[in-house]
Structure formats: C-alpha cells, structure tokens
Amino acid sequence: MSLALCYFLTMISTDYDYYKYHPMPEITNWMTQIAKDHPDVVTIVDYGQTYEKRTISLLKIGLNSEAKKKAIWMDCGIHAREWIAPAFCQYFVKQILQTYKTDPKMEKMMMNMDFYVTPVLNVDGYMYSWQDNTTRLWRKNMSPGPSGCDCNGTDINANFNANWGTIGISFDCCTVAFCGSSPISETETQAVTYFVGSRKEDFLCFLTIHSFSQMLLVPYGHPNFTAPNYNELIEVGLAAADEIKKVHGTHYTVGTPPDVLYANSGSSRDWARQQGIPFSYTFELRDNGTFGFELPEDQIKPSCEEAYEGALYIITYAHDKTFSGAMNTAATALWTMLLAVVYCTFLKAYL
C-alpha cells in the first residue's frame, strides 16, 4: 500500500465528516478504516452480491466473549434515495465505538451482543441515485424486469417472504412498488434472508432504517395479521419515541403501517418478526415532507442524534430483558437449591 493511500485512509478516520452525504466508494473506504482502527471489536463481513456484482458488506461490532452471544441487526439504504439512512448507520457505528470504552452499559452490551450493521444494502441503487439529478430519487435496485418489461428495478423491501405480493405493492415492473416476480427473487433479499435466517435464534432486534415521515413502524404491514408481542412492541416503541423527542423535540408516530402509514407486504421488518426475532422495527427518519428524500445536510446531525437515542432505547430494552431475565432465572435456581439444602439439613437434624 502506498504512503499516499495510507494517508488517505487515515484522514477518513480522523477527519471523516459524518454530517454530509457520502457516495458509495467513500463509505466503503470508511468501513475499511473503521475495521483497521478498531481491530479488536470490528470486522467486515461480506455476505452477498448485487445484480451488478457489487459486494454487500456489513460491520460486525462486539467484544470477544467465550459465552454464546446474542445479536442486533441494523440495515440502512435498502431504498436508494433515502440518503439519510446510510448517514445514520455510519453515525450509529461511530457512537457505539466511542461510547463502549467509557460507558459500562455499552461495554456490557458489546460483551453480550454483536452488532451487525449494513451501511448500504441496496448498493447498486444507491450508486445510481448519485449519478445525476435525474436519478437522485431512484428507489429500487437495478435488476432487470421480467420478460417483456423494459423497466429495471425491484423494491427490495417488498420482496421478502412475508405475505409477499398481497397488499400495498405492484406487479407493474415500471412502478416504484414492484415487488419482484417472486418472493426472495432479488440477490439483496437473498443475502439478508440467508445471513439473518441462518442465525435467527441469535437476533434480539431487527432495525431497518428508512426515510421519511418520522415514524417507528412495528409488524405487521398486512392489516389481517398481528404480531404476538404487539402490545410490547408498541410500548417499547412509544418509549423510544419519547427518547427521540427529548433530543430536539421531534415527534415520531408509533404503530403498524396500516394504522399510521399504509398497508404493505413483503417487508424485511415483517419477515424478521415471522422468523421469531422479537423486536423488529422500521425507523422512518426526518422529515415530514418539507424536503422529503432530499433532506438537507444541515439536518443530518440532529436527525442522527435523535434517532440514535431511539434505537439505543430499543436495543437496551431487548438486552436487559434477555440478560437480566437470565440472571434472575439463575439466581432463582440458586436460591431454590440453597433452600433445598437447608431443608434437608433441618430434616436430618430433627428427624
């Protein structure tokens, strides 16, 4: 590696601007530098390939532990035009890496859980949205349409095998809501389905980051189905929205898509909940439509700051429920055993 390249990568780490939008090559270089700067806690995992043969990668972040760990999933950039989402994933990674060395709670969570963060899931579409002003609002991936269709692209977030093709989608391949020719037909969908599905029992949270509308959406997108832990999802979501509001006063609406947005099917959020991952949420970041998908860069910082607090609340809740519950179970078992020993000793002494 040349000295010039080494210097360039070092500058990414020290001077990387988290409050501007970055094209894909810069994000890829940033991921490389983050892994280089934090080799004890960060590794890059390549887990899929796009239609245009680009690699889909994530950052695995966590402290080494001999105990079996749980996991948190976060993906950004499933829709190409939602640039604030990849900006948030980068901010999230920065925050947890800065925090765990001084915050015992974050250190404990990184000891108990691994964070799997995909900064840009729809790599092809994201790169296309950077091409020029005419492509800025591109949403889908770049796969060709079915036979007889002259349009490209499938809505990846309508392509998961969760009530696929039933509501809130289109079979017209030229629309932004085209759900694909079949469930899991897209390479991006396949990558997430295999990676998460093959270790689904490890995941406590599945957080997929979108924009816009300032919402926390819970499963399910289809009005005829209700998540088994719906009440808890709403309760945790409302508490997360309160944490978000504390930062800059931004109000987030919480609910299922049919209740607060629009019915949909084939989403990654719904798929994750059907796989048994208990806390599955879609974050719809700023704003409410003033700028829409073209959120100005001066709103990146406040948007990320508030969303981070919401995500952190959900993650902390899931962690504490899992690991505090495990500790309480162990303590109860220990006390039961001790009481049994005392009781047996008493019987031997007096009988």
Domains of the chain, earliest start first: 24-349 (3.40.630.10)
∠ CA(194), CA(212), CA(274), 5° rounding? 30
pLDDT tens-digit series, residues 102-161: 999 999 999 999 999 999 999 999 999 999 999 999 999 999 999 999 999 999 999 999
* 306 classed as catalytic: no
Give me the residues paired with residue 76 across strands: 209
Of 186, 284, 294, 297, the active-site residue reads 284
Q: What is the average pLDDT across 93-106?
A: 97
Of 230, 203, 217, which Cα lies nearest the Cα of 319? 203
Decide if pLDDT at 275 tops 70: yes
Mean pLDDT, the chain, rounded, equals 91
Q: What is the average pLDDT across 331-336?
A: 41
Percent of the chain with pLDDT over 70: 88
pLDDT at 344: 47
pLDDT at 15: 87
Instruction: State the number of CA atoms in the 13 A half-sphere of 157 facing the CB.
Output: 24
Q: What is the average pLDDT across 194-212?
A: 98
Q: pLDDT-derived band of residue 349, with 50, 70 and 90 as boundaries?
A: low
Decide if pLDDT at 335 tops 90: no
Q: What is the average pLDDT across 305-323?
A: 98
Helix ranges, 264-299 (H): 268-274
pLDDT tens-digit series, residues 5-40: 444 444 445 589 999 999 999 999 999 999 999 999
Q: What is the average pLDDT across 304-317?
A: 98
CB 306 within 8 A of CB 298: no
Phi, psi of 152 (to 5 degrees): -105, 160
Burial class (CB in 10 A: 0-12, 13-18, 19+), 136: middle
pLDDT at 168: 96
More confident residue, 62 or 339: 62
CB 121 within 8 A of CB 75: yes
pLDDT at 351: 56
Q: What is the average pLDDT across 147-176?
A: 96
